Structure 1
């Protein structure tokens, strides 16, 4: 069970305070994979960070009896002077993973990331792609009831994207996912239920297809399409 109770979050900007959420109350459907949609700036990534304990609301709370991951692929959380292995060991310690269980996680991370000897090199020496591989590998190598995914499947080469999709499909057998993505096919493939963050606030739909339809209705038509229509009208 995941419940948002009176969740409120705002940010200070040069033009005043921007309110993302105000007194949001919602109960997420249990046992479902959920896709979150919304225009840029709607608060999708912020909501995931709050649910994953990376960020905090102004007030209100997330109530759950599940083990929720940090947002999968959050590479900015690494300490640059520490190696990939040391960062993985540190995060294992935070989650109470020690001994043979920790070694199992480290082996999974190293195998998935495919960064070779860089696993024992400082993270500040990594490329952005290597950071993404390490971050995703670490996220998926720890057992959670619910995994938070924020656009990570849009990062990296085709081989890496395919690995991400494969392991998510495997983990869906025993865990659930909450996914933020702009790729509609990814959401249709991986999600059952849809959440739309729009002008009316947070709305939950019975199917992800319904949420996608509402989201797409609110997207402005590209100017090039309007120009093409005007040109066709003149030709007629």
Structure 2
């Protein structure tokens, strides 16, 4: 279970303020796959980062029960001077998993070749996303936070990523951001819509998608 308690977050932007969360009080149920919907710039990625603990809210708090992943596809917490393998060892120590097993899993899953043992600063954005995806899948979390991860790589890698993620969801929940409604319908069973700093949860995924589509008109 993930609960947002009076969560507030905004940014100063040229000409005004961008509001991500406006005193949000909401819960994401355990074991469910939630589609997080919202227009471009609504703050979905920032909300995921606050849930993960990699971004601070201005006020309020995020209460979690069980383990929560860092945002899948987000490599902002990686160190640019370390290799992909070294970053994996660092993450393994933080989460208390076997370092050798994690390195072996990520090396096979991410398909980075020789780059896996090169500094992260040499990676393209797609390579960083592959590394972050594989690193998160290497750890058994209760809730996975996903931000468009299966959009990276060629068709074969996207299918491999989707299959691996579906396997993880057999025993875990997720909060998923994607611009593909078909993809969300495949892996999610409920939804939440972020609009102008407000978050509304829908037990029915199609109702969430319909609300989002009305907002886009």
Interval containing the TM-score (normalised by the shorter chain): over 0.9
TM-score normalised to structure 2 length: 0.95
Offset, 1:42: 1.1
Offset, 1:21: 1.1
RMSD of equivalent CA atoms:
1.4
> Which secondary structure state, in structure 1, belongs to the residue aligned with residue 194 of structure 2?
strand
1:184 matches 2:181: yes
| Distance across 1 between alignment mates of 2:63 and 2:157 | 34
Offset, 1:81: 1.7
| Distance across 1 between alignment mates of 2:197 and 2:107 | 44
Contact 1:132–1:156 under 8 Å retained in 2? no
Match of 2:121 in 1: 124
Match of 2:18 in 1: 18
> Which secondary structure state, in structure 1, belongs to the residue aligned with residue 70 of structure 2?
strand
| Distance across 2 between alignment mates of 1:152 and 1:66 | 22
Offset, 1:151: 1.1
1:77 matches 2:77: yes
| Distance across 2 between alignment mates of 1:58 and 1:213 | 30
| Distance across 2 between alignment mates of 1:50 and 1:188 | 25
Residue range with higher mean Cα deviation, 109-118 or 74-83 = 74-83
2:149 maps to which of 152, 162, 168: 152
Unmatched 5+ stretches in structure 1 = 221-236
Q: Residues 4 and 158 of structure 1: is their aligned pair in 2 closer, same or farther, counting only changes over 3 Å?
A: same
Match of 1:133 in 2: 130
| Distance across 2 between alignment mates of 1:164 and 1:143 | 16
| Distance across 2 between alignment mates of 1:179 and 1:95 | 22
Match of 1:90 in 2: 90
| Distance across 2 between alignment mates of 1:143 and 1:43 | 27
| Distance across 2 between alignment mates of 1:200 and 1:42 | 8
Offset, 1:80: 1.7
Task: Identify which of structures 1 and 2 has the higher relative contact order when contacts are C-alpha pairs closer than 8 Å and 6+ apart.
Answer: 2
Q: How many residues align?
A: 217
Post-superposition Cα deviations, 1:87-111, rounded to whole Å, max 9, x if no partner, equal 11111222233xxx22111111011
TM-score normalised to structure 1 length: 0.88
Equivalent residues in 2 for 1:165-176, closer than 5 Å:
165-176=162-173
After the TM superposition, which segments of 4 or more aligned residues of structure 1 sit over 3 Å from their partners? none
Offset, 1:132: 1.8
Unmatched 5+ stretches in structure 2 = none
